[in-house]
């Protein structure tokens, strides 16, 4: 059974304002207005996007953006307070949980591509990344071609898993593919030498490396595979809810607040060990902030 973690945002509007709320034209917003509750999906080990800190609190770049969106939803509905239910998700169950209504909004490390666009709704992009390999610094692995017949890890249900399968087909090179349920489990298996490399989005890999006991033991290697964008996800076809989510995210980007949040998680010490990723904002991310777009890259 999925466990829920609940917190309540403090009262910020007088109750009198409720009487002047405008009609809601979104199924998701109607539900939130009726229950004063929003269900948020989060990852458990997608450092530094959405993960647990040492106190088992959800933190991260994407999570901060999502909490800001929730405040915009509260203001849009003129609610005096809103209860947040935090529901952990995996790469495999996040889309079904959005589709069946368990989750209203998920902001983690979810790639927005054309295939997923047919299954769920997506916000403007919040990050751009590409898949690479995490391996031991002394492994001798530099590219996918160095992995002939050796075990390589992927997180089940991710675009990296699909990319590896496609690479096998197009290059005629077979891999011993090992799957994990989440990124934390994958890295644990990599550390226990069940595989020699882990294929995943480079930003996630740098986060796992920084979180490790000895970051210098690990290296992110290989030519980047196809570029991808992350976005927040919600039920498909709810244009009213999408409008509120996008308006909030665009406001954060154009006001400079999103860049501040980025620097907090990529250029400052982060929990649980106070390690700094020292990753300045890439040019393509700054371009996303200047010109927000909800278009998938592939």
Same domain, 123 and 146: no
> 0.75 exceeded by the pTM?
yes
Same domain, 111 and 247: yes
Instruction: Specify if 284 maps to a domain.
Output: yes
Is the pLDDT assigned to residue 251 strictly greater than 50?
Answer: yes
Other Cβ atoms closer than 10 A to 285: 22
Q: What percent of the chain has pLDDT over 90?
A: 78
pLDDT at 226: 78
Residues 6+ apart with CB under 8 A from 150: 175, 176, 195, 196, 197
Three-class secondary structure of residue 135 per DSSP: strand
Instruction: Specify if 298 maps to a domain.
Output: no
Is the pLDDT assigned to residue 26 strictly greater than 90?
Answer: yes
pLDDT at 135: 97
Sign, CA dihedral 81-86-91-92, equals negative
The domain of 181 spans: 130-227
Q: What is the CATH number of the domain that holds 144?
A: 3.40.190.10
Is the pLDDT assigned to residue 189 strictly greater than 50?
Answer: yes
Same domain, 143 and 255: no
Same domain, 179 and 115: no
In sequence order, the β-bridge partners of residue 39 are 85
Express each pLDDT in 142-164 by its tens digit: 999 898 889 999 999 999 999 99
């Amino acid at each position: 059974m999925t466990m829920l973690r609940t917190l309540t945002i403090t009262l910020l509007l007088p109750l009198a304002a409720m009487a002047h709320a405008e009609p809601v034209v979104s199924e998701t917003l109607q539900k939130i207005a009726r229950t004063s509750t929003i269900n948020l999906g989060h990852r458990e080990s997608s450092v530094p996007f959405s993960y647990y800190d040492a106190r088992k609190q959800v933190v991260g770049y994407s999570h901060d953006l999502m909490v800001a969106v929730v405040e915009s939803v509260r203001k849009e509905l003129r609610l005096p307070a809103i209860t947040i239910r935090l529901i952990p998700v995996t790469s495999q169950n996040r889309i079904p949980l959005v589709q069946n209504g368990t989750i209203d909004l998920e902001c983690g490390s979810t790639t927005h591509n054309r295939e997923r666009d047919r299954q769920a709704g997506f916000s403007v992009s919040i990050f751009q990344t590409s898949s690479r390999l995490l391996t031991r610094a002394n492994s001798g692995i530099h590219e996918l071609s160095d992995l002939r017949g050796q075990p390589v890890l992927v997180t089940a249900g991710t675009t990296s898993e699909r990319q590896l399968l496609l690479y096998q087909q197009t290059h005629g090179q077979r891999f011993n593919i090992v799957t994990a349920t989440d990124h934390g489990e994958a890295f644990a298996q990599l550390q226990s030498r069940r595989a020699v490399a882990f294929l995943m989005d480079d930003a996630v890999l740098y986060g796992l490396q920084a979180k490790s006991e000895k970051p210098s033991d690990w290296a992110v290697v290989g030519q980047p595979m196809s570029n991808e964008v992350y976005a927040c996800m919600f039920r498909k076809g709810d244009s009213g809810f999408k409008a509120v989510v996008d308006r909030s995210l665009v406001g954060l980007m154009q006001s400079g607040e999103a860049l501040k949040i980025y620097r907090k998680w990529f250029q400052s010490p982060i929990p649980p060990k106070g390690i700094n990723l020292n990753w300045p904002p890439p040019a393509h991310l700054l371009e996303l902030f200047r010109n927000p777009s909800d278009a998938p890259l592939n």
